[in-house]
Structures are given as C-alpha cells and as structure tokens.
Structure 1
C-alpha cells in the first residue's frame, strides 16, 4: 500500500505529493522540522517536540499555520492511515513560497507544512545489542544549533565520513570539546560513575529525549554533571552513549577506533534506555 502523506491541508499518496520548486525550504533550507517517535501506534514525547517546533518558529519568524492540537490530530490521522505501529513521524515547516527565488522575504508569506510517517524498528534495534562506533569530526555548523532547522548538510557530510571510515556516526568537536552527535546528544559516564553531558546553550540542540532522560536519571541514583568534555576524556570514560527521538539511547562502544570501557554496551546506558521505553509506553 502506498504511503499517505500530508501536504498543506491534504492527505495524498506520496507519489502525488508536490511542493513548489520556489519553496524557500527547497531553495534556502529556510525551514524547521521535528521527528516524533511512535511506539505501539502512539506518539512519544510529542508535546515536547511541538513546543520546540513553536520555539524554532519564533526564533526564525516563521508563521505557525496550525495549533499544536491540530498538528497532533494530523499526526494521529497519518498513524491510522498508514497503520504505523513503530517508527516516527517527520514534520517539516518551511517559510513558504513567494513565486520566485529571492534572499529577502515578506513576513506575510504563507508557510508550507509537510508530514510523513516512517516505519522503523526502534525497540529491538541491533545497535543496542552491539553498540555503535563513532569518529571525531570538526563541527562546522552555524551558531544556532538550538534551532532545529533543515540546514543539515554539515551533518550529512559528517555521517558520510563516518560510514566511509567504517563507523556508525560522529561526535562533533568544537574548540576541543564535544558538542553532540551527528543527529543526537552525547553523554559519557566517568570512571567514578558520574553521567556527564554538555549543558544547554545555542551550541547544541535541546533534545526532547535528553530532557526526559535527565529527569529519569535522577531516580537511578547516578550523579549528573552538565559540563563540557573533550574527546580525550570520552575515550577514557567508563561508558558513552547518545540519545535522540528515534534511537532513544544507543551505547557508544568505540571512539576513533579506541574502545570505550570494555568495548561493550554500558550498563547505565542500557538501564536508562529500558527505563525510558517503559516510561514512554506507560504515558503514551
């Protein structure tokens, strides 16, 4: 069955979905996006994703064409129409189309809204059993990474470099410190058992899964430090992991071909992953 997608108020087969070549999302990556995971046919942490979408739009002056409640209804309709049980819903909102290419734009321009589903195996991912390998890579992104824009070329280049090197992903480095993963937040666990992750700022995306994990970890008795850390410190850590909407938590078992800890998925990462999934399912 052909996937049904949403484009500017209409549910259409994906083969019939169309957006103008003059849309600013296509020409300038003048757009924001969100990805909400779906488990058991239910949206996970969706309120946080839609709140972040609204923040991104405010920061860039992009008009929201619908309310959060209407967006949720659209997402739920797509889940039903596509019989989605596990995976995610991608949402992209562009500044819109003014009929030609011009760097400047009118504030009254009507935005373009697109959503589609993606069926993926989230819970039983093989990346959890074996962990992932990352390489360090220079962070060449713009200075407002807290805004979730579609300007993802640096991340695409970085991930391509990782795959060419036989790794799964990257940890991005700026001024000697880890910012985040290619499309995730980054964490280490020190030899003393302290969970360390970079504090929120314009330098990293304010991850919705990160926010949930920071609350859940408090119930585990694990100490937390929000501070900068270097790739060298990460290599000497007891364990490391990433988080994002569609990975939940994936253990990192090697950095630049050097094993992290014993080179196996760490116990804290796996514990947090299990707690997150249980909590998400209980509250979805």
Structure 2
C-alpha cells in the first residue's frame, strides 16, 4: 500500500480519508457515550504490545456487553493496513467501538444492533523535551468518577473535568485519590512512586485501568534492579516518595517533580527514572525485535 501524507481511517469495513468519515447522530456512542476505545502506539511501523491491547479491548467490550466486531486476526490485518496508509514510522492508533446506531433513542439498547467500528492513525510526536528535563507538576484531587474505571469507556467527561481543574490550579495533571485517601490513578495514566529501591504502584481493581505501559514499566524497572510492589498508596505516601512517575501509552513514563506545589525528592527527574527512561527508549528503538520478551 502506497503511503500518503493525508490521514486515513477505517469505518465499518471501509478505509476512507479521515475528513470523509461520517457517523450517524443516532449512534449510541454519540447519544450516550455507549462505547469503549483503545489507544495503541506504533514504533518503527509495528504496533507496540498489540496482543495486550487487543486483550484489554476485548475485556472492555465483554464487560460492556458489546459485541467484538472483529477476531484478533482481523484486527491485526486491519490495523496493519491502516498503518501502511501513513508515512510516519511512529504512530498512534485510536480504536473505538460503540454499541451501534439505534434510531429510537432509548437507554435500553435493542438486541440486534451492529457495533460501529472506527479507527484512525496519527503521528506519534516526541514528548515535550521540557517534561524530560524538568518533570511535570501535579496536584491531588478526589476521584469522583464512576466505579468501573477498569473499562476503557469513551465517557471521559469526569477525566476532562479533573484535568481542567489541575490546569486551573497551575498544574500539568492530577493524581486522584478515593474516599479512603488511597491513590487510584492519574487523569489518563497509572501512578508509580519510588521509595529507595522499591517501586510501588496501586494494585489493579475496578478503580483504575490496567495500563499496558504500566506492565512494561514494571518489567523494565526490575531490569533496573528495582523491586516492584503492587500495594495501596496514600497521599501521605506520595509526599514521602523519592520519585513519582505517571505512565501511559503515548508518553511512556513521565517524572512528577512537583506535587501539590511542593517538590518531589530533589525537585528534578530522579536517577531511577533516568535509568528506566533510557531502557524504554532502547525498547522503542529496537521494536519489534524485542517483542519476543514477555511483558510480565
């Protein structure tokens, strides 16, 4: 497939220029936010940890009682073709599956709906170099989202509100905590905190998403001779941490150097993050040759 400078998308069986894609306003994703999504980075023309991403997508669909429109083999073939339409060696794939179009607006969906499948690719831009040099600032905010954050649902208004609150208070992002003062996750990321040589992250539950990058970071951290522990963290724990990281599919692991307007550790990205980031960059540079390594 010849590469083109324009963006292409896949919509219900067709590859189209992005600007020509049209979805019915009666689609339940538009009316109700009734759908799930997935974001997959592409390094050197190959999807990163594709099997893990497709497994998570399948779990989100199953938990939402939405039919998976493709088999894994069909997903792989479709995404490979979508990648081939674009000239960028590093891309971001966005996949969205809604329950489908229902002409009669009703909270209860019809039983015979066909899912709407939409996917598109964009260029994966390098992370802001200032974030790598100086780190980011974050504030802690109460987690007032719904109780099924393990489903990667398209209903992200609560996350958007929290991100805006962080911006309005002069921070780059927010780290969320529940009614028992336990840390859940960031607005679009998982949270890690380093204490000496022990790296801690909240255990998986319905209160946070099982990040694919989270799993990769845990493996790479062990390669950096850190002990990794899945255990509850509190806001007080974060105040005492030597380093804090946020991890996501498009930004890898980013250092938080200021929390609630106070420095984290030295106030600069720490040595453990530097070591982890160097390993992550090597992994990306050599992907997919390194894909034979297990991801924990």
When the two structures are superposed, what TM-score results if normalisation uses the length of structure 2?
A: 0.91
CA RMSD of aligned residues (A): 1.5
TM-fit CA distance, 1:124: 6.7
Could you list the per-position Cα deviations for residues 20-40 of structure 1 after superposition, in whole angstroms to 9, with x for gaps in the alignment? Answer: 111111111111100001222
Distance 1:42 1:262 in 2: 37
Q: 2 CA distance for matches of 1:126 and 1:42?
A: 27
Which SS does the other structure have where 2:265 is aligned? coil
Gaps of 5+ in 1: none
1:32 to 19, 36, 40: 36
Deviation at 1:161, TM superposition (A): 1.3
- For residue 99 of structure 2, the aligned residue among 90, 95, 106 is 95
Aligned with 2:52 (options 35, 48, 53): 48
Of 212, 218, 223, 1:219 maps to 223
1:193 to 191, 197, 204: 197
SS of the aligned residue for 1:274 comes to helix
Q: 2:199, 2:227 within 8 Å by CA — same for their partners in 1?
A: yes
Q: Deviations over 1:62-96 (max 9, x none)?
A: 10111122112222222221212223110000011
Please say if 1:157 is aligned against 2:172.
no
Q: Does 1:238 align with 2:242?
A: yes
- Is it true that 1:72 corresponds to 2:57 in the alignment? no
Give CA deviations for 1:246-268 in whole Å, capped at 9, x if unaligned. 01111111111111001101221
- CA-CA distance at 1:125 after TM superposition: 4.4
Partner of 1:122: 126
Q: Which moved more, 1:206-215 or 1:69-78?
A: 69-78
Q: 1:228 aligns with which of 225, 232, 236?
A: 232
1:134–1:124 Cα change, 3 Å: closer
SS in 2 for 1:37: strand
Name the structure 1 match of 2:184: 179
Match of 1:83 in 2: 87
Aligned residue for 2:281?
A: 277
Question: Are the equivalent residues in 2 in contact too, given 1:193–1:238 (CA < 8 A)?
Answer: no
TM-score, normalization: structure 1? 0.95
* Secondary structure of 1:195's aligned partner: strand
| 1:258 alignment partner in structure 2 | 262
CA contact (8 A) 1:144 1:203 kept: yes
| Aligned counterpart, 2:292 | none
SS at match of 2:247: strand
Instruction: Give the whole-Å Cα distance in 2 for the aligned partners of 1:124 and 1:39.
Output: 18
Moved more, 255-264 or 40-49: 40-49
Q: SS in structure 1 opposite 2:82?
A: helix
DSSP-derived class of the 1:73 partner: helix
* More divergent stretch after superposition (211-220 vs 260-269): 211-220
Structure 1 position 208, deviation (Å): 0.6
CA separation of 1:163/1:75 partners in 2, compared to 1, >3 Å: closer, same or farther?
A: same
**Following the alignment from structure 1 to structure 2, what is the Cα–Cα distance between the partners of residues 107 and 77?**
31
CA contact (8 A) 1:7 1:113 kept: yes
Q: Deviations over 1:100-148 (max 9, x none)?
A: 2110012321000001112132367442222111111111111111111
Cα deviation, residue 242, structure 1? 0.8
